[in-house]
Amino acid sequence: MSAEGKTGRWCGCLLCRVGDEQTMKELRDGGAQGPEWEWVAAHLVDYALRVLHHQHARQTLAREANTHRRAAHLHPVVLAPEDAQALDADPAQPTALFVATCTTALDRFRRIDLLGGHWRPGGRRVPGYYVTRCYFVLGDELTTWRRARTKERKVAAAAYRLAEEDERLGGRDVVEDLRQVDPAVVGALVETMREPLREATRYRLDHPDATWAAAARALHVSPRVIEAQLRRWRRSRRREGER
Ligand SMILES: [Zn+2]
């Protein structure tokens, strides 16, 4: 008995040993659990992952999926240009999407098609049939994947903004300069600052690793206020130095 022609693999699972009809009957009788089921499940997921990756690489995935989705009266999936871009930019992205798709589809296949008796002999062979189940859940999985991507982008953007704030507030670091000054003088210098810059500076003097952004967060003030005050304070110190 040959395994799926497309993979050309013979893994020794029930499907490969005794064929579709016998496999489905034996698995159903056994409650679709245990090593035989796991082995068949591994064969199916392995096959479907190859098909999905292959179709994605050939840019035929949405078309293939929609042919089957339309027949089942499901709305077509649409891969927007930004989806395609995100999927192409990082190989981990299509893998994450397709693994999630195969996992959800496997659960449904087990409950509905195998135990529920929805799969019937004489129709589509089991691995191909399972791939159509992957197409059916692909729409929802795509939505979930997009949400996760949006969240990732927001987190990355927030981290970037914080880094940018530190960068803008950086340059020559006033607090590092103050650390070099006689402690008796520091108090007097800090007194010349306005709030909340004064408090933020004291915070940083007390917390050697803290950045301006961290001080602003700790004091619940806007980093921009500190940035503006710092610029003004530097200008005023420079003017005094010039006198
Ligand atoms: Zn097999």
Residue 17 CA to ligand 1 center (angstroms) comes to 7
Residues bordering ligand 1, an ion, CB closer than 5 Å: 11, 13, 15-16, 43
Does the N-terminal peptide bond of residue 76 adopt cis geometry, omega within 30 degrees of 0?
A: no
Q: Residue 227: count other Cβ atoms within 10 Å of its Cβ.
A: 17
**Cα–Cα dist 91/59, whole Å:** 15
Residue 94 CA to ligand 1 center (angstroms) comes to 24
3-class SS shares of the chain: helix, strand, coil, % to 5? 75, 0, 25
Residue 33 CA to ligand 1 center (angstroms) comes to 16
Residue 4 CA to ligand 1 center (angstroms) comes to 8
**What's the whole-model pTM score?**
0.65
Residue 5 CA to ligand 1 center (angstroms) comes to 12
Could you list the pLDDT tens digit for every one of the 243 residues in the chain? 333 444 446 789 999 999 999 999 999 999 999 999 999 999 999 999 999 999 999 999 999 999 999 999 999 999 999 899 989 888 899 999 999 999 999 999 999 999 999 999 998 999 999 999 999 999 999 999 999 888 877 776 666 666 666 666 656 678 887 887 777 778 878 888 889 999 999 999 999 889 888 999 999 888 888 888 888 887 777 776 655
Q: What are the domain boundaries of the chain?
A: 14-161, 170-242
